[in-house]
Structures are given as C-alpha cells and as structure tokens.
Amino acid sequence: MGLISLEGMEFFAYHGFYDEEQKIGNKYSIDLSIETDLQEAASTDLLKNTINYEELYQLVLHVMQHKHRLLEHVGHQIIERIKGTYQGVEKVTVSVSKYNPPIGGICERARVIVSG
C-alpha cells in the first residue's frame, strides 16, 4: 500500500451557506491523500500504473467550479469523483479550508477533513 498526496491546492470558488458567499466567492485550500497500491507503478516506472497527479488536480478543480453550501459536501464530492474514476483506491482523505470565514470575528480559516 502507498500514499499519494497533493497538498496546498488553492482555488477561488463560490461555496458557502450564505447566499452572499456564493455571490462574492472566497479563497479555498485543498489537501488530498489517497491510499492505494503503488507497487506496480514503483516497479515499472510507468504513469499508466498509478494515479496521475494532473488528472487528480483536474477532478478537484471540477468540483470546486460548482457551488456548494457546506465544506463537508465539497470534500464528499471530491472523494466520490476520485473513487468513481480510479480502481483500487482504498481510502481518500480530503481537507477543505475556507479563508476568512464569516463567523463574526477573526479567523484565518475554517477547515473540514473528511475520509471515505
């Protein structure tokens, strides 16, 4: 088993519980880790035997381009797309951070971590 991670992906997107958040948008950060068998890729040195990082980024980008109310839902959608695209994925963990969330006080970011 092995772990593939993409960390610190940044997006400007229109997620949020409040309608105003879905109009003005915000900055988000995504960290992603995937547990899968990397033995064949390690022994063959062939991209076709692993999960392509560029494709992963594009999957995340696709989810981020659609409006969602909850960070939990964003993470869940990313997990569903990855598991639906790649066979042999044991577990996906996604951290979704929203910068400067509207909580009525100072907060650098709100973060939700979901696994599936």
Residue 83 appears among annotated catalytic residues: no
The mean predicted confidence, pLDDT, of the chain is 97
What is the reported pLDDT for 61?
98
Q: What is the pTM of this model?
A: 0.95
53 pLDDT band (50/70/90 cuts)?
very high
Q: Domain ranges in the chain? A: 2-115
Predicted local confidence at residue 18, as pLDDT: 95
Tokens standing for residue 70? 């909850």
Class of the CATH domain delimited by 2-115: alpha beta
Total length of the chain: 116
List, for residues 63-93, the tens digit of each pLDDT value. 999 999 999 999 999 999 999 999 999 999 9
Q: Which of 48, 67, 83, 98 is catalytic?
A: 98
pLDDT given at position 6: 98
If one counts every other C-beta atom within 10 angstroms of the C-beta of residue 54, the result is: 7
The rounded distance, in Å, linking the Cα atoms of 62 and 48 is 22
Q: What are the start-end ranges of the H helices in the chain? A: 19-24, 39-44, 53-64, 71-85
Instruction: Identify residue 50 by its one-letter amino acid code.
Output: T
